[in-house]
Structure 1
Amino acid sequence: MDMTTEPRLDRDTTNCSIARTLELVGEKWTLLVLREIWYGVSRFSDLHQMLGCPRNLLAERLRKLVDNGILATEAYQAEGARSRYRYVVTAKGNDLVPAVLGLLQWGDKYRADPTGPAIVNRHRGCGAALSVQVRCEHDHHVPAAEMEITPGPGFRTRSDPEPAT
């Protein structure tokens, strides 16, 4: 088949949801900040200590996550101390858990320490280890070989005119 006639090769990738998501959370420190907050670290100084990332970089990543509604700040005050802020995960941030757990699951399989993974995520209700799976709307497990990619409402080709804004 002539490659110039393959419709997938004319696909406009500028509106790709994966690319847009990576612009927001696809940087190492951003994912590690989220990891620590999910694990219960919530104060800037504790995040700085746990991650060892430069303070200005940490501040910028936190600001970006807050500005995009993935994290929120919440005032708290320890007895006898001044009021401070901690970071909390929003519902939008919690919707990232499957994606990040998917990265962890892959890393545990292919990149873990020879002695095994550093942590295991478990279901608090029953104690079973967690796993991330791709499932269809009818609750079938779908291996990658069974995925079908079809155009969605935002599909464009490179030759399509730019959408009006």
Structure 2
Amino acid sequence: MEWTSVDLADCPVIRALDVVGQRWTLVVLREVYNDVGRFEDLQRHLGISPSVLSRRLAEMVDAGLLEREEYREEGRRPRHAYRATAKAWDLYPVVVGLMQWGDRHLRDGDRPAVALVDRRTGRRVVAAVVTDDVPACDPAEIDAVVTAA
């Protein structure tokens, strides 16, 4: 079978982009991966309007990427935080790859880069295409470190 005979309706890239291809989706995941999950913190850190963020978070919950958790600080009304699901964590290598590609090809030399470091070994983590027998790093053991420009 030739590649050009594959029907676009069967393309997993197109199906994936239907879920994660909207503006803010991967950026929200980046924040949640880095333990920024409270609505107010997401809104403040991203500089996104509350209505756009609310809509995107609801879509991500509906798509099974995020779980919504209620919390209440003493004396305040209930609020929500968001946590990545296993489905979202499966996208982690994609987000890492985009981040590293952006640092390599689009970063202004005056801006800091972000390095990912395996907490156990201190070695840098990179996104790569490897054979299926190469063990993956545990995202829970990876720290994001801002490096000098």
* Farther off after superposition, 15-24 or 75-84: 75-84
In structure 2, give the amino acid aligned to 1:123: D
What does residue 59 of structure 1 align with? 54
In structure 2, relative to structure 1, the CA distance for the partners of 1:131 and 1:53 (3 Å cut) is same
Correspondence for 2:73 among 74, 78, 82 = 78
Deviation at 1:84, TM superposition (A): 1.8
**Gaps in structure 2 of 5+ consecutive residues:** 135-149
Deviations 1:5-51 (A, max 9, x none): x9433321111111111111112311111111112211112211111
Which one has a larger percent strand, Structure 1 or Structure 2?
2
Q: CA RMSD in A?
A: 2.0
What does residue 36 of structure 2 align with? 41
Q: Within 5 Å, give how 1:1-165 maps onto structure 2.
A: 7-115=2-110, 117-139=112-134
In structure 2, relative to structure 1, the CA distance for the partners of 1:78 and 1:133 (3 Å cut) is same
Deviation at 1:103, TM superposition (A): 0.6
**Gaps in structure 1 of 5+ consecutive residues:** 1-5, 140-165
What does residue 143 of structure 1 align with? none
Q: Secondary structure of 1:126's match?
A: coil
**Which protein is bigger by CA-based radius of gyration?**
1
Q: Give me the TM-score of the superposition, normalised by structure 2.
A: 0.81
Identity %: 40
Distance 1:119 1:48 in 2: 21
Contact 1:108 1:116 in 2 (8 A): no
In structure 2, give the amino acid aligned to 1:59: S
Distance 1:38 1:7 in 2: 38
* Farther off after superposition, 48-57 or 111-120: 111-120
Q: Which has the bigger relative contact order, CA under 8 A and spacing at least 6?
A: 1
Q: Give me the TM-score of the superposition, normalised by structure 1.
A: 0.73
Distance 1:54 1:82 in 2: 21
